[in-house]
Structure 1
Amino acid sequence: MKLRRKVLITVLVLLAGVLAASLRLDVSPQELEARYATAPSRFVEVDGLRIHYRDQGQGPTLLLLHGSNASLFTWEGWVRELSENYRVITLDLPGHGLTGPDARGRYTADAMVEVVEAFRARLGLEQFVLGGNSMGGSISWRYALLHPQRVTRLVLVDAAGFPRDTPAPLVFRLMRAPVVGEVLSLFSPRWVIDRNLRAVYGEPSRVTEALVEQYHALLLREGNRTATRERMRAGGDDARWKQLGELRMPTLVLWGAKDAWIPLEHGQRFARAIPGARLIVYPELGHVPMEEDAARTARELRGFLEASAPAPTGHGTL
């Protein structure tokens, strides 16, 4: 009995040590801004939020929205490729990056649409190309439906928005669960971020240590993990996707065939649902193709932007 008790105590001590090592406290905004809010980063007060954004390049305006638990840095490859000829504006959405949590809890896709509209008005943008990846893609097409006069062209990169036929990624389901979500908001070890990023990429070897560190550090920004939990619980799918056929601006759909989070079938549905939409599929890429291969995907985007706007009379795929 004494031996069994000693073994049990040893196991419990080891378990406590593992949990203690995994515990990650919030990091202050000041510390993270010193590391990541370098030029050309800016902040602007918008409707109760201090939004972190970058405004780079010159020419026609592109406004780009990142995905869940990402940040504006996911677009930096496109910025490098496009800013010589385009003005590229990126921002951290509520509950993400250096913007941090929203005191008003605006975490549904439609609520974020209105945050984007307030940001647009604050910067005085009249018309622009709007693009988004994953969650940002869902916000983009919703914005285009609600504010079509603002969007000259729409770019959807592995966009969310259709009801899922398969379970959501495990981390999302865990964050929605009572108690478990609260625990995960405290325990955010770096190896979990590393594993998730490698699952998101079509070729895991493209994930660098610097990229993992950036994602991990920004997740730990004070309030972001609580915001993530609240966002996951804010609401499920709605029926707004049934309005996609009302979109009339030229639309480009880019998709990684190895996307393990949102299957290619959803990209094909966007191409069928939006009049005149063009679908380009990358066989070797995953959920964030603009991050995985910025040069190639930006080249496709540039071709789309430079082409004369076609009349939306049919559906095209490549």
Structure 2
Amino acid sequence: MNWLKRLWWSAVLLGLLVAVGVYATWQPDRQLGQLVGRWAPEPSTFLELDGMQVHLRDTGPRDDPHPLLMLHGMSSSLHTFEDWQSALQGQHRVITVDLPGFGLTGPSPQGDYRIDAYTRFVLRLLDVLSLKRVVLIGNALGGEIAWQTAVLAPERVSKLVLIDADGYQPSVQSMPLGFRFASMRGLRWIAERVMPHSLMASSVRSVYGDPNKATPDKIDRYFELNLRVGNRRALFQRMDQAQFGNSSVLIRRIQTPTLVLWGERDRMISSDQGAQFCHDIPHCKLVMFKDLGHIPQEEDPPATLAPLRAFLATP
């Protein structure tokens, strides 16, 4: 019977430790009003679309014949393109947007985070903004949404820029801790209510080629925006609905001129997949950055802007 008592007390102790851990890292949802002041200064605006107040920034000359629409990755936001937008808006109309489920836009009322739902969202956004054709730019999840939009509606996409884009079967070398935690279905109740700041810091640093470039302000941004009411549950739903690589055969249908930018230190998606995109897309140029990670446009805006500017200047 002694072993039974020890087992019981061990279970009690474990339960107490878990309770203390949950209490110490408990993070309630942040309401939109709590976040807007810091994360939606001008030129941020909100547009009603598909039952959501969609957060976007639309800057630059309105007569630009080929506006740029930039799409961020999972658990990110339009802020990942802030430096690009600032640098390009003098010559180009630049639109950045928080996709459904992320940033200040928050969750989709339908709870649909499949790629085809995102491509329909992008096309409706273009219609609402009266944009016939755009240069579509996407990072990670945003990259897959971009190329699938180019497959579905090639007449709406004049050029395509893929940055460490999803599309092929996963070859994850190191998944951020936050995504690992969110993927554990048995811990969903806890994961929807706790978020250690240290866990977010580790996750953000892991997607940079140089972790020291993940500044406290950037970590705070990811931390606070992922606490926006509904975003944690939306991340779980997106992960459950994802079908990574199932549509990769469609990549060969892309005829749109394409630029592929890739960080060689991307530990989420192997750099080999950058070359695979340009193998399957006939009109494609690949540019690798040996010191950058999964979000190169955020990690080193000047270095990544150079090939983008050259690509945009090409007829």
Q: Taking structure 1 as the reference length, what is the TM-score of the superposition? A: 0.91
Equivalent in the alignment of 1:131: 137
User: 2:142, 2:84 → 1: CA distance?
Assistant: 15
Q: 1:35, CA displacement in angstroms?
A: 2.1
Percent of pairs with identical residues: 37
Residue 131 of structure 1 contacts residue 155 of structure 1 at CA under 8 Å; is this kept in 2? Answer: yes
Q: 1:95, CA displacement in angstroms?
A: 0.6
Q: 1:299, CA displacement in angstroms?
A: 1.5
Q: 1:11, CA displacement in angstroms?
A: 7.5
Equivalent in the alignment of 1:159: 165
Q: Answer yes or no: is 1:301 the counterpart of 2:308.
A: yes
Equivalent in the alignment of 2:105: 99
Equivalent in the alignment of 1:251: 258
Which sections of structure 1, spanning at least 5 residues, go unmatched? 309-318
Residue 254 of structure 1 contacts residue 280 of structure 1 at CA under 8 Å; is this kept in 2? Answer: yes
User: 1:68, 1:11 → 2: CA distance?
Assistant: 33
Moved more, 122-131 or 166-175: 166-175
Moved more, 99-108 or 6-15: 6-15
Helix, strand or coil at the partner of 2:102: coil
Residue 129 of structure 1 contacts residue 153 of structure 1 at CA under 8 Å; is this kept in 2? Answer: yes
Residue 172 of structure 2 contacts residue 269 of structure 2 at CA under 8 Å; is this kept in 1? Answer: no
Equivalent in the alignment of 1:192: 199
Residue 138 of structure 1 contacts residue 160 of structure 1 at CA under 8 Å; is this kept in 2? Answer: yes
Equivalent in the alignment of 1:25: 28
Equivalent in the alignment of 1:232: 239
Equivalent in the alignment of 2:91: 85
User: 2:133, 2:122 → 1: CA distance?
Assistant: 13
Q: 1:174, CA displacement in angstroms?
A: 3.9
Residue 109 of structure 1 contacts residue 139 of structure 1 at CA under 8 Å; is this kept in 2? Answer: yes
Provide the aligned length of Structure 1 versus Structure 2: 306
CA-based RMSD of the aligned residues comes to 2.1
User: 2:17, 2:179 → 1: CA distance?
Assistant: 28
Equivalent in the alignment of 2:188: 181
Q: 1:240, CA displacement in angstroms?
A: 2.1
Q: 1:189, CA displacement in angstroms?
A: 1.1
Q: Taking structure 2 as the reference length, what is the TM-score of the superposition? A: 0.91
Q: Answer yes or no: is 1:269 the counterpart of 2:276.
A: yes
Helix, strand or coil at the partner of 2:256: coil
Q: Answer yes or no: is 1:50 the counterpart of 2:56.
A: no
Equivalent in the alignment of 1:41: 44
Helix, strand or coil at the partner of 1:275: coil
Residue 81 of structure 1 contacts residue 294 of structure 1 at CA under 8 Å; is this kept in 2? Answer: no
Equivalent in the alignment of 1:220: 227
Helix, strand or coil at the partner of 2:155: coil
Q: 1:307, CA displacement in angstroms?
A: 1.7
Q: 1:175, CA displacement in angstroms?
A: 2.3
Q: 1:15, CA displacement in angstroms?
A: 4.9
Residue 138 of structure 2 contacts residue 145 of structure 2 at CA under 8 Å; is this kept in 1? Answer: yes
Q: 1:300, CA displacement in angstroms?
A: 1.1
Residue 175 of structure 1 contacts residue 182 of structure 1 at CA under 8 Å; is this kept in 2? Answer: no
Equivalent in the alignment of 1:292: 299
User: 2:182, 2:232 → 1: CA distance?
Assistant: 10
| TM-aligned CA distance change 1:229 to 1:151, over 3 Å | same
Q: 1:12, CA displacement in angstroms?
A: 6.2
User: 1:272, 1:9 → 2: CA distance?
Assistant: 57
